[in-house]
Amino acid sequence: MNFPVTGPLLIGLTGGISSGKSTVLQHLRQAGYSVIDADKLGHKVLEQGNPGYNKVVKYFGNEILNPDGSVNRTALGRIVFVDAEKLKQLNEISHPIIEEMIQNEFEESVLDSNGGIVFLEAALLIEANWYKVCGHIWVVSLDPTVALSRLKERDNLSETEAKLRVGAQLDQEERLAYADVVLQNEGTHEELFTQTQQALQELKQSMNRNHS
C-alpha cells in the first residue's frame, strides 16, 4: 500500500477481539471522520464474485459453503482457528485483496473526512504489517478475561473456541508496544467516548503545532 507522507493522515485503530473497537468507530464516525473497516472488507473477500471467493473455496473445499453457495464464516473459522497453517493460507489469500480495497477506500474517503484524517480499523493491523502505512497507532485495551467472556456471548462460542480465537491474535502486551494512543475500555461506553474525544483533541493540537 502507498500513502502520502505529508498531508492526509491515516491512523490505525486496533485491539484484541471484543475489545470495543466498534464502539470507538461509532464515535469517530459521529465526529465526522472517515473510517475504513478492514474486518468488514475481509468479509467482502468471501462474497461470491470477489476474486478471493474462488481461491478460498478451492483451498478449503465445499464444506465451508452454505446451501446457497455463500461462505459459512463460522465453519471456516472452526477450521482456521485450530490449524495455524490454514489460518496463514487464508490470510495469504485475503490480505492482498484487502490491501487493495483499503487503498481504494482511502483515496475515495480522505477528501470528505474531518481534517483529512482517516482511520483504519483492523484487528490484524500489526500482524498484517498494515501499521507501517499509518501515521499513528491507536489501541483499544480491555482485560483479556472480560474480552473472552464478551466474545463467547457475542458469537455464541464455547470456552475452547473463544480461547482459540483469542490465541490466534497478538498478546495484548505485544500490541500495546506499537501504540501511540491507548484507549482503556474498562468502564462505560461514555468513559470510552471521553477518552476518544480527548485523543482526537490532542491529535488536532499536535497537527496544528506541526503546521505552524
Domain positions in the chain are: 9-211
Q: Given strand 117-121, what is the order of strands in its sheet?
A: 34-37, 117-121, 9-15, 136-141, 181-184
pLDDT at 111 over 90: no
Whole-number Å distance between alpha carbons of 181 and 102: 22
120: left (phi > 0), else alpha (psi -120 to 50), else beta?
A: beta
Asked if the model's pLDDT at residue 164 lies above 90, the reply is no
Q: Which of 25, 13, 38 is closest to 140 using CA atoms?
A: 13
CATH class of 9-211: alpha beta
Q: Residue 105 is placed in which grid cell?
A: 477506500
**Residues 28 and 35 sit within 8 Å (Cβ to Cβ):** yes
pLDDT above 70 for 2: no
The answer to whether residue 13 scores a pLDDT higher than 50 is yes
- Asked if residue 75 lies in contact with residue 69, where contact means CB atoms within 8 angstroms, the answer is no
Give the residue-averaged pLDDT of 118-138: 94
Average pLDDT of the residues of the chain: 90
Q: What is the pLDDT of residues 78-96, one digit of tens each?
A: 999 889 999 999 999 999 9
For residue 6, the model assigns a pLDDT of 46
Q: Rounded distance, CA 171 to CA 94, Å?
A: 22
pLDDT digits (tens, 9 = 90+) for 18-73: 889 989 999 999 999 999 999 899 999 999 999 999 999 999 999 999 999 999 99
Provide the grid cell at 83. Answer: 490449524
- Taking the chain, what is the end-to-end CA distance rounded to the nearest angstrom? 29
The answer to which of 2-6, 48-52, 116-120, 140-144 has the lowest mean pLDDT is 2-6
DSSP state of 7: S
Question: What is the crossing angle of helices 73-80 and 84-109, to 10°?
Answer: 130
| Per-residue cell: 159 | 470456552
| Structure confidence at residue 1 (pLDDT) | 63
